[in-house]
Amino acid sequence: QSALTQPASVSGSPGQSIAISCTGTNSDIGAYNYVSWYQQHPGKVPKLVIFDVSSRPSGVSNRFSGSKSGNTASLTISGLQADDEADYYCSSYTIRRSWVFGGGTQLTVL
Amino acid sequence: QLQLQESGPGLVKPSETLALTCSVSGASVSGDDWSWVRQPPGKGLEWIATIFMTGVTDYNPSLRSRVTLSVDASRGHFSLQLTSATAADTAVYFCARYYDRGLDSWGQGILVAVPP
């Protein structure tokens, strides 16, 4: 199965909003509303920030939001903070009863 | 508080079986669903497999023929076996709880190297 497509990098200034896209196919993102997003700081463990396209786990800031249109999902981070600088990975359930990750996006806070 | 801890050899010879265990504390291993994810050095995440409390297992199609997951409720852990290891299997291996269609708790990860 092919990885979902994410931009290699995005950047933004503190206080701004940024969006990270995640493009899949009719066999994964387009098939289910089962998209999740993970934040990973360098050398650290991934952290779930969004599940089921737009739901936030308890304790995750409401500055993180998710959406989906067709075969593309997006993660939006508003009010950008220095600690948001990290790698972000999307993931989707597929029709093959499997999960697939995106290649990851490096977020730089300028 | 749920805690996960991976354990196993840090070095596996080519063609041998990579075997890891994830010890679970703060929850019943037989009462939740569990996953394995790996990350080659400097690269992205790759989902390996998920085992459900029902015993059903979903596998990454590209690894299906080489992967086995199991749960040992009496010992409070679940395990991963990956046969016929190659250098391409060198990665940090994470165990995680699969909950509400997300991986909400993760172990610290264990680096497993398979030399060329």
Give chain A's mean pLDDT.
97
Picking from B59, B61, B100, the nearest residue to A51 by CB comes out as B100
Looking at residue A30, its pLDDT comes to 97
Q: pLDDT per residue over A21-44, tens digit each?
A: 999 999 999 999 999 999 999 999
DSSP state of B30: G
What's the pLDDT band for B100 if we cut at 50, 70, 90?
Answer: confident
Instruction: Give the gap in angstroms from C-alpha A34 to the nearest C-alpha of chain B.
Output: 7
Looking at residue A106, its pLDDT comes to 98
Residues of chain B neighbouring A91 (CB-CB closer than 8 A): 45, 47
pLDDT for A79 beyond 90: yes
Contact present, B10 and B18 (Cβ < 8 Å): no
Looking at residue A2, its pLDDT comes to 80
Contact present, A13 and A109 (Cβ < 8 Å): yes
